[in-house]
């Protein structure tokens, strides 16, 4: 069960600190490369759409890991 502290943390804006912004960009850039590879390597279908959606979800989860679990540069 989520605590009130968890909810407060998840739904609060976390301004980037240290090198976080650079890591966000690097993660997004690599995910974009992978998305382009998926797009070029597979035919359009529901599974391709699901793969791209899950990749987007992964990027968002990684961003949350950075934003919500670091109070200062690691």
The sign one gets for the Cα dihedral 34, 25, 69, 53 is negative
pLDDT tens sequence across 12-28: 999 999 999 999 999 99
The model carries a pTM of 0.85
Start-to-end C-alpha separation, the chain: 27
Give the residue extent of every domain in the chain: 19-69
Mean pLDDT for 23-48 is: 98
Whether the pLDDT of residue 73 is over 60: the answer is no
Whether the pLDDT of residue 42 is over 80: the answer is yes
Mean pLDDT for 26-53 is: 98
């Amino acid at each position: 069960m989520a605590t009130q502290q968890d909810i407060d943390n998840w739904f609060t804006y976390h301004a980037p600190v240290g090198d976080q912004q650079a890591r966000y960009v690097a993660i997004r850039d690599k995910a974009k490369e992978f998305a382009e590879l998926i797009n070029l390597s597979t035919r359009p279908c529901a599974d391709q759409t699901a793969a791209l959606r899950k990749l987007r979800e992964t990027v968002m989860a990684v961003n949350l890991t950075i934003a919500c679990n670091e109070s200062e540069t690691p």
